[in-house]
Structure 1
Amino acid sequence: MSMSDILALLREHLDVVIAIGSALVALVSAFVSRAETRRQRRLQTERLRQSIDAASLEWGNHAIDALGRAAMFARTRHLQANNGTFAAGKHSLMINLSALVERGRMFFPNLDADNKGMDKDGAYRGHRPPILDAIMWAYFELDALTRDGGPTGDNSADYIDDCRRLMVSELQAHLDPRRLDKIVERYDDQTHENRREAIDRANALKARLESRRPGLVLDTSQRPATPMETRQ
C-alpha cells in the first residue's frame, strides 16, 4: 500500500482517527493527573509530618529542661534556705513534670490500648510508653526527695539523669526519619527489639525506684488520689 493510499484511508476514517487520538490524550492526561495527585499528597503528608515533628520536639525540649532542673534541684537541695523554700521548689517541679506527661500523651499514646484499662478514659487505656514512664519515675523520685537526711541518697540526681537519658533516646527514635514510615503510628512502628529494650530499661528504672523507696505506691488505685497522681 502506497503512502497516498494510506492518507486516503486516514481521510476516509478521520472520525475514528480523531477518536483514537482523543482517547490517547485523555489516557496520558489521566496518568499525569494521577502522578501529580500523588505528589501533592506526599507534599501534604510531609508538611503534616514536619508540623508534628516540630510540636513533639518543642515538647521534648521542655521535658529535657524540666528533668535537667529536677536533677540540679536534687543536687543542691541542701542549699535551700529552709524547708518551706525546698517544698515550694519541689512541688513546682513536680507540677511541671506531671503536666509534661499529660501533654506528651498527644504525641505518644498508650500502648496495647485495646487490651488493658477498657474501663478508663480513652487516653489512659493501655500501657504508658517508656518515654513518658521515664518522666513519671523522675516525678516519683522527686516526690520522695527530702531536704536533709532520710532515705534520700546523694545519687537522686543521677537517677533523674538516667530517666532523662531514656526520654531523650526515645524522642530521638521518634524523630528519626529513617524509622518513620507512617505519621500517626510512627512511635509504635519501632522494631520489636528496640521497643523491648526501651521497655526493659523503663522497668529497670521502676525496679530501682521501688528498691530505693520501700513502701512507695506507684499504682494510684491503691492509694488516695492526688492532683498530680500518675495514670496508666
Structure 2
Amino acid sequence: MEWGVNEWVAVGSAALALASLVLNWLVVRRQTELQYETLRTEMDSAVIAWAHEAIDSVAGASTLARGRGVMYPADEFRRLAHETSQKLSAIADRGRLFFPNEEHDRHGQDKEAAFQGFRPPILDSIVFACGRLDRMAAEGGPDTESAEFLTKCRRLLVSEAQNAIDPRRRKQMLNRLAVGRLDDKTSAFKVAADLGEAMEALYPGYLLQRRDAAWIAAREEMGRRRR
C-alpha cells in the first residue's frame, strides 16, 4: 500500500491528537495535585490557628491555678475561670470540625451526630482541662496540683496537634528555614545552650540534660541531616 499525502496527514493528525490528549491528561493531573496540596495547606493552617488558641487557653487555665489567691483574688479568679472555661468549651466544639469522634455506632447514640462516639485524645486534652478548671474553688492559695494537671493537658494537646500536621510538609518547612539561616554564622543551638546553662547556673538541677559542646554538635548534625 502506497501512502499518499492524505494518509500522512491523517497519521499526523492522529499523532497530534494523541499527544494533545496525553498533554491534557498531564495538565489535569498536575492541577488536581496542586488543588489537593492547596486544600491540605489550608487545612493545616486552620488546624494550626485552632491549636494556637487552644494552647493559649489551656496555658491561661494553668496560670489561673498557680496564681489563685496570690495574683487573683477570689472574685477575679471566679470571673476569669468562668471566661476561660467557656472559651475552652467552645474551642473543644470547634475542634470537632477537624477531629470528629470515632466509633459513632458504639457509643452515644442518644446524642447529636457530632457528639456520638468517642472523642480523640486531642479533644480530651481540652475537655479535661475545662472540667478541671470548672471544679476549682475560687478560694485558697495556689493550686499546684491542678496546674500540673493542666500542663499535662497542654502537652498532650501540643503533641497531638503536631501529629495532625503532615510530617512531610513540616520537614520541607524546616528545610526552608534551615536554608534561610545559612548566611547566619551564629549557631542557634549554641545560643540555646548558653541560655540553658545560664538557667542551670541560677537554678541547679533545672536542666535535665546539660548543654555542653557534645550536645551542640549533636543538634547541629541533626539539623544538617534535615537539609
State the TM-score, normalized to the length of structure 2.
0.69
1:156 aligns with 2:149: no
- Residue 97 of structure 1 is matched in structure 2 by 88
2:3 equivalent in structure 1 = 10
Q: Which amino acid aligns with 1:52?
A: M
What corresponds to 1:183 in structure 2?
Answer: none
- After TM superposition, give the deviation of residue 120 of structure 1 in Å: 2.3
Which amino acid letter does the alignment assign opposite residue 146 of structure 1?
A
Partner of 1:174: 164
Find the aligned partners of 2:169 and 2:157 in 1 and give their Cα distance: 17
Q: Deviations over 1:29-72 (max 9, x none)?
A: 11110010010011111111111111111110000100111101
Count of residues in Structure 1 that have an aligned counterpart in Structure 2: 170
Aligned partners of 2:137 and 2:110: how far apart in 1? 36
5 Å matches for 1:50-199?
A: 50-79=41-70, 82-149=73-140, 154-178=144-168
2:19 corresponds to: 28
1:173/1:179 contact within 8 Å kept: no
| Greater Cα shift, 69-78 or 18-27 | 18-27
For residue 42 of structure 1, the aligned residue among 24, 29, 33 is: 33
Measure the CA separation in 1 of the matches of 2:135 and 2:73.
17
Cα separation, partners in 2 of 1:133 and 1:179, compared to 1, 3 Å: farther
CA–CA distance in 2 between the matches of 1:118 and 1:143?
27
The residue that corresponds to 1:219 in the other structure is none
| Equivalent residue letter for 2:14 | A
Q: Highest Rg: 1 or 2?
A: 1
Structure 1: gaps (5+ residues): 1-5, 181-232
| Distance in structure 2 (CA, Å) of the matches to 1:55 and 1:68 | 20
For 2:147, the aligned partner's letter is A
- Per-residue deviation, residues 97-147 of structure 1 (Å, max 9, x unmatched): 101101111111111224333332221111111000001111111111123
Q: Quote the sequence identity (%).
A: 41
RMSD over aligned CA atoms reads 2.2
Query: How far apart, CA to CA, are the structure 1 residues paired with 2:108 and 2:77?
Result: 36
The answer on whether the counterparts of 1:138 and 1:160 sit within 8 Å (CA) in structure 2 is yes
